[in-house]
């Protein structure tokens, strides 16, 4: 039955995302949202926090919480802009750049790369099919940033490795 194939694929994606998130947190001591945020700061040093939030498609308050934890871990620093003291710019520390260089590609990066290899029609077909699944499950009201992260991983035993305040959406 095709519905079983679909459900199995969805379960495989969810399970793999959870396993991947645990591996990242266990090996690197950061959550996937923290790693994504760090990636943005490393790739464009000096961005304001609001721009990082926009690029991650998160509320500014959620992003500030993630940045607070990155700063506590010594991976980013904040500095007021010389041009406008209201603006706080983010900078990766040496430790942050080192972690970014060692960390594996994020699942969403792998997916983005894979999707780029498909035709526009194939991408549209996938988008429509997934939107139909969301509608069938009556999940249209659920806000979701484009982070491949599972909430159960973030509610894991170790609060230092998996911080529920990093949950996006």
Per the CB < 8 A criterion, the answer to whether 24 and 156 are in contact is no
CATH topology of domain 2-166: Arc Repressor Mutant, subunit A (1.10.10)
Token output for 10:
């969805």
The helix-helix angle for 32-43 and 2-28 (nearest 10°) equals: 70
Tens digits of per-residue pLDDT, 20-73?
989 999 999 999 999 999 999 999 999 998 899 999 888 888 899 999 999 999
CA 164 to chain centre: 13
- pLDDT value, residue 44: 93
Domain ranges of the chain: 2-166
User: Phi and psi dihedrals of 91, rounded to 5?
Assistant: -135, 140
pLDDT at 116 (0 to 100): 94
- Distance (Å, rounded) from C-alpha 16 to C-alpha 18? 5
Q: For residues 147-169, give the mean pLDDT.
A: 41
pLDDT band at 95 (very low <50, low <70, confident <90, very high): very high
């Amino acid at each position: 039955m095709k519905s079983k194939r679909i459900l199995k694929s969805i379960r495989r994606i969810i399970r793999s995302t959870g396993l991947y998130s645990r591996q990242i947190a266990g090996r690197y001591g950061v959550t996937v949202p923290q790693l994504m945020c760090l990636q943005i700061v490393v790739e464009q040093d000096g961005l304001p926090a609001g721009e990082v939030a926009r690029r991650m498609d998160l509320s500014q308050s959620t992003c500030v919480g993630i940045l607070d934890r990155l700063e506590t871990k010594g991976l980013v620093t904040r500095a007021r802009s010389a041009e406008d003291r209201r603006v706080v710019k983010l900078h990766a520390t040496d430790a942050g750049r080192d972690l970014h260089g060692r960390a594996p590609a994020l699942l969403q990066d792998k997916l983005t790369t894979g999707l780029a290899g498909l035709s526009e029609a194939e991408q549209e077909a996938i988008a429509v099919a997934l939107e139909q699944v969301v509608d069938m499950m009556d999940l249209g009201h659920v806000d979701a940033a484009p982070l491949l992260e599972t909430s159960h991983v973030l509610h894991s035993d170790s609060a230092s490795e998996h911080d529920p305040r990093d949950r996006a959406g």
